[in-house]
Amino acid sequence: MRLSIALLTGLYLIAAAPAVSADGSVRRVAFFGFQLINTSMEPTSDAETGRIQMLEDLFRDKLTASGRFEIVALPAEVQEAVAAGPEISNCNGCEQDYAARSGADLAAWGTVQKVSNLILNINVYVTEAESGEMFFVRSVDIRGNTDESWRRGLDYMLRNYMLKQP
């Protein structure tokens, strides 16, 4: 029982740790955007494509506004490699190399899985560029396929998990 409590406490402290590096500097993030994974029977709409861009902007804005992260610009050669390769969510660690080549400490990306117009989930993944260890991973389910539901879903995740102050 004591071991379980100690383990859970340790995991909580790791998850709640501030995003600043050991020397107190802001963590630099190479952000590779969001990908829509449409497993519904309906085609992807223009509105959904626009919502992906909306989530990307919200993610960048929230991380930057926190003062704990800096989104780095991806060099042209990294942008070209990303565009020519497989999706970041399925590239077997390429995000580490891309983040390192961009001068970032962390690699971040997200997915939105559309099961139907009622059931969707938003997933965010952040790994350490050097080690590949998972820094943050979380999924939230949302109900409804609207700008508001997508925005609220990502905002909830960031506010209550990734950017929550310990």
Burial track 86-98 (b if 16+ CB lie within 10 A, e otherwise): eebeebeebbbeb
Q: Where are the alpha helices (DSSP H) in the chain?
A: 2-16, 46-65, 76-84, 94-101, 147-157
Task: Concatenate the DSSP letters of all residues of 116-157 into one string.
Answer: SSSEEEEEEEEEETTT--EEEEEEEEEES-SHHHHHHHHHHH
pTM for the model stands at: 0.84
Q: If DSSP codes are grouped into helix, strand and coil, which group holds residue 20?
A: coil
Q: What is the pLDDT of residue 24?
A: 65
How many whole angstroms separate alpha carbon 152 and alpha carbon 155? 5
Q: For 30-61, how does the pLDDT look when each residue is reduced to its tens digit (9 = 90+)? A: 999 999 999 999 999 999 999 999 999 999 99
Q: For 117-154, how does the pLDDT look when each residue is reduced to its tens digit (9 = 90+)? A: 999 999 999 999 999 999 999 999 999 999 999 999 99
Domains of the chain with CATH codes: 2-162 (3.40.50.10070)
Q: Which tokens belong to 19? A: 């995003």
Amino acid at 162: M
* 127 CB neighbour count, 10 Å cutoff: 20
pLDDT tier for residue 16 given thresholds of 50, 70 and 90: very low
- The residue-averaged pLDDT of 94-106 equals 96
pLDDT tier for residue 166 given thresholds of 50, 70 and 90: confident
